[in-house]
Amino acid sequence: MENAVCLIRYTIEGITMFNAAEVLQPGFIERPLDELWSLISPLYSVDESQWLAQLMPLAEPTEQERQYTAEQATSLIERVRADQNAVQMIDALLLEYSLDTKEGILLMCLAEALMRIPDAATADALIRDKLSVADWKSHLKNSDSLFVNASTWGLMLTGKVVSLDAKEDGAPSHVINRLVNKMSEPVIRQAMNQAMKIMGHQFVLGRTIAEAMKNGKSKRDKGFTYSFDMLGEAALTAQDAQKYFKDYVMAVEAVGRDSYASESGSNTRSPDPTVSIKLSALHPRYDVANEARVLDEMYLLVLSLLKRARELNVGITIDAEEADRLELSLKLFEKLYRAEEVKGWGRFGLVVQTYSKRALPVLAWLAALAKDQGDVIPLRLVKGAYWDSELKLSQQSGYSAYPVFTRKEATDASYLACARFMLAPHLNGVFYPQFASHNAHTVSAVMAMAKSHRNFEFQRLHGMGDALYNHVMEMHQTNVRIYAPVGSHKDLLPYLVRRLLENGANSSFVHRLVDANCPVESLIQHPVDILKSRPTLHNSLIPLPPQIFGEQRKNSAGVNIDIASQWQPFSESVQAFARHQWQAGPIINGAAVIDSGNTVAVTAPYDRRESVGSVTFASAEQVNEALSIAAQSYQQWSSRPAAERAQCLLRLADLLEDHTGELVALCHREAGKTIQDSIDEIREAVDFCRFYANQATEEFSQPKPVMGFDGTTRQLSYQGRGVFACISPWNFPLAIFLGQVSAALVAGNTVVAKPAEQTSLIAFRAIELMLEAGVPAGAIQLLPGTGAEVGAPLTADNRIAGVAFTGSTETAQRINRSLAARDCEPVPFIAETGGQNAMIVDSTALPEQVVRDVVRSAFASAGQRCSALRVLFIQQDIADRVIGLIKGAMAELSVGRPELHSTDVGPVIDATARDKLQTHIQSLKNQATLVAQASVPVSCQHGDFVPPSAFEIPSIDILKNEHFGPILHIVRFKASELDQVIDHINQTGFGLTMGVHSRNERTYSHIERRARVGNCYINRDQVGAVVGVQPFGGQGLSGTGPKAGGPHYLYRFTQDRVEA
């Protein structure tokens, strides 16, 4: 095996990468802890194939291990399949309703929603919706399990499953329709709720810890033991966190008082139960941005739990969560592990997920930590529970690669590599390994590697894999611990979904184990052998995040600021410009005109004492000169091939990414944008450049044949219109500015750009980069200045062949009148303006998801987004719960300097904006109910800050215009008033964005059809449209269209020419 080890060391920016071959050497974990720690983060998104090439030799078995594993796995699978009780209720559900089917997804959706919808009318509507769209008939009688058929219908009337006889009843679909028509929704609702409770009992051991321990006695009598998990997801509020903490304390107390071992007839082979805790449930801000709070507040809280657990000798395990929290969780674990109150105990452990590329170096660091302190670490090895979301988040965020493996067999190989390390003889007594898996091959492979090592256990999930582990215990005499959720059924959903995502797909081992049609040979293939048979070690069918748009264009690059190896170089590149002073002025024919005696000082919105630079505003003469040069240059630029013009934009996109550090610093210091907002700003600008470049190349390079009404074929081509005026806002000073300018240029126009006066430095730097990218000096002119002195003369000039504008509705109307008053032919006016953006939430919605999306939609970017949420409509049946959560979540918001990672909400753009918003807040205090207001620290006193505020108002009608800042208005409504709510929103005249939260497809489709808005977002936040994916623009008072970043936008900048 050593001969096959890849000895290559990979380096990222000078950091020596982890060499997997060295971990089995006893001296490896004798290295300094800091050195081993430094090897973890660089592997976050390491090249998958190269890293697997290092891991595979560790996972590859010896011939003896291979033979033993195959024999034992075959025997185990055959025993399970021969076992009459093998297919438990929950296994049957997974087998019949995998998440490969629409019905499986609908069943989960209906199940979780019905458990918490408080009003009958909405619950009945949801039942109607779900029963009408699924192909339930294909599942009837496919399984003999009572549970599957009960869950299929949820029609357990008087405790009996509705039976269907095809001879008597005809086609199943007829019976379904007849049942639904014959029985009222309330009857079905009651029956479905009963079925869901049965489902809950299968997944949850007990509603309380006392009930769970009672229900678990029968398994303990067979030698099993438990790790109790108190159901509860990430806390949104301090109150949520306190509730979950009390639940954990109660669990520790109950387990500590457990008298099972002393009872007569108890099974002495059953080890003591333990408790598993989820860190995100114990603090509302468990994230890297709030590391200081986590290592202080959260440390003290968890330490108090550990002290009590140690007094009662109840083992505690920290569950694993999302990849971004891994490094933070390890820092917290080390601090707790080294606490005097925990030293010497040896029953404080954690979970490591092997689908993570960082799993092996994490284990090496933990081994060194345990060796250093001398206390064993119980370590649960799992494969991973967030795979789907990790991939989608990476794609959405534009990361270079994934933090997890993209093949199942790669995760399995990583698991075995990690297991070999944990079972190494020199680590005996360092870890207490706990191998969690429902895969018979994995279990057998672990046994083969363990040899004489017996100081470990297996773990499984409650309600799944019962038969498998009954036979594992019988064959190998090993300890088996059951991970058992405890809590109310309404808290079941997030846990349930993770279990189904792990085990519900047709490809999962759990699914295939009980499928008699699946050959045993396919279940005992070694993952290393499967990997070797693949053309590539990574899954080439899953494109890396930069390639998700295929050959059309490259995705813009993001930075994961929660990962140390990415944050450190990024932060240094931004800090290099922390004191830089920029100068800007008009750029006319490629030359910057900076008049040192006629400049306007630029100061930071977060602290007006801080100088950022200065800008020279354009004069009337310079406006005229810029227009003349742009007009003279039009013919030469427009005659260039579209592909050549597009190449300039592609070079500009690369230059923007090359200058990310400087541009982020500018976004902080001139526009007051937070770190993530600044990164997203640059990414959107890059996406605009690449999207429009690709579209222009495809659509404008060659004339297209079109058939006329007379049957004659003609050639249709597109060319620019002339000089375009691009007037952009301060809230997206780079993205919208370059979005307008790049579209106009690539369509063949020359451009005179007038940026918002508040953000002229950013615009100036963007045009410098544009000239560097090869755009001719005559094609682009920059005129910083006020609307009165620059904007008005531009739009009144007859040389302007079109206007692209983003800003207020009032300014757009003035521009429209100005264009109409000219004595020349009409020209295109492309306007994206304001909005009174609403979100409608019905009682099927998940409150926690609603609140996360509301807080982001209303308060991200200090509410200074065109798309930001202004008015939240909540169905009154859940209003108190949702408003309470909003209040708690707002209490956790951090207002402060935008360059700080811990800041959630930065300043507004200037004193004028601040004063207008403060006036509105004061007026609301006289006519509305204050729900919550975040605090603004004293350190912000020299900046233009507005506290994020939420008010409950009687109606949207009291809002006469848009208030462009962090102010949320909340309106309650009855379920029967939904159409009136939509009417009131439409009657404002605005129509930019809308959010809808509902699990009822008919409801959200109805709202989407009736709402007169440009962008409607369903079951997500309503900000952050992605170029080319969610074209953005409004209607009515919110814009003219066509939508930016969409397929029709560029055509508005052109005129067509038809040649016979």
- pLDDT of 108 reads 60
Q: Which residues of 118-144 are buried (b: 16+ CB within 10 A; e: fewer)?
A: ebeebbbbbbebbbeebebbebbeebe
Mean pLDDT of 495-500: 60
Mean pLDDT of 1001-1010: 94
- Domain span(s) for CATH 3.20.20.220 in the chain: 2-70+223-485
Catalytic residue list contains 6: no
Mean pLDDT of 469-495: 85
Does 548 have pLDDT greater than 90?
yes
CATH 3.90.1150.10 holds for 564-833+1051-1059: no
Does 1017 have pLDDT greater than 80?
yes
pLDDT category of residue 783 using cuts at 50, 70 and 90: very high
Residue in 625, 866, 892, 952 annotated catalytic: 866
- pLDDT of 1001 reads 86
- DSSP 8-state symbol, 957: G
2-70+223-485 folds as TIM Barrel (3.20.20)
- For residue 1014, the Cα-to-chain-centroid distance in whole angstroms is 23
Mean pLDDT of 349-374: 97
- pLDDT tens-digit map of 887-929: 999 999 999 999 999 999 999 999 999 999 999 999 999 899 9
Mean pLDDT of 877-884: 96
Does 447 have pLDDT greater than 90?
yes
- pLDDT of 279 reads 97
Give, for 228, the enclosing helix (H) or strand (E).
Answer: strand 225-230
CB 955 within 8 A of CB 983: no
- pLDDT of 97 reads 54
Catalytic residue list contains 1016: no
Does 504 have pLDDT greater than 70?
no
Three-class secondary structure of residue 316 per DSSP = strand
pLDDT category of residue 138 using cuts at 50, 70 and 90: low
Query: What is the end-to-end Cα distance of the chain in Å, rounded?
Result: 73
Mean pLDDT of 478-503: 74
* Structure tokens that stand for 156 in this block: 């357990």
Does 176 have pLDDT greater than 70?
no
Instruction: Kindly report the average pLDDT of the chain as a whole number.
Output: 89
Spatial CB neighbours of 758, under 8 Å, sequence gap ≥ 6 = 670, 671, 730, 733, 909, 910
* Structure tokens that stand for 151 in this block: 């869950």
- pLDDT of 597 reads 74
Does 128 have pLDDT greater than 80?
no
Does 134 have pLDDT greater than 70?
no
Spatial CB neighbours of 887, under 8 Å, sequence gap ≥ 6 = 237, 931, 932, 950
CATH 2.60.120.10 holds for 838-1038: no
CA 794/CA 215 separation, integer angstroms: 78
* Structure tokens that stand for 510 in this block: 């759990």
Does 149 have pLDDT greater than 70?
no
pLDDT category of residue 501 using cuts at 50, 70 and 90: low
Residue in 832, 892, 899, 952 annotated catalytic: 832
Angle between helices 876-891 and 847-859 (to 10 degrees): 60
Percent of the chain beyond pLDDT 90? 76
Mean pLDDT of 26-34: 95
- pLDDT of 831 reads 96
545 preceded by a cis bond (ω within 30 of 0): no
- pLDDT of 10 reads 34
CB 365 within 8 A of CB 36: yes
Spatial CB neighbours of 174, under 8 Å, sequence gap ≥ 6 = none
- Domain span(s) for CATH 3.40.309.10 in the chain: 838-1038
Q: Which residues of 224-263 are buried (b: 16+ CB within 10 A; e: fewer)?
A: bbbbbbbbbebbbbbebbeebbebbbbbbebbbebebeee
- pLDDT of 233 reads 75
- pLDDT of 657 reads 98
pLDDT category of residue 166 using cuts at 50, 70 and 90: very low
- pLDDT of 86 reads 64
- pLDDT of 620 reads 94
CB 793 within 8 A of CB 803: no
Does 388 have pLDDT greater than 90?
no
* Structure tokens that stand for 380 in this block: 């649960």
pLDDT category of residue 146 using cuts at 50, 70 and 90: very low
- pLDDT of 494 reads 59
CA 990/CA 651 separation, integer angstroms: 37
Mean pLDDT of 1020-1025: 94
Mean pLDDT of 258-273: 89
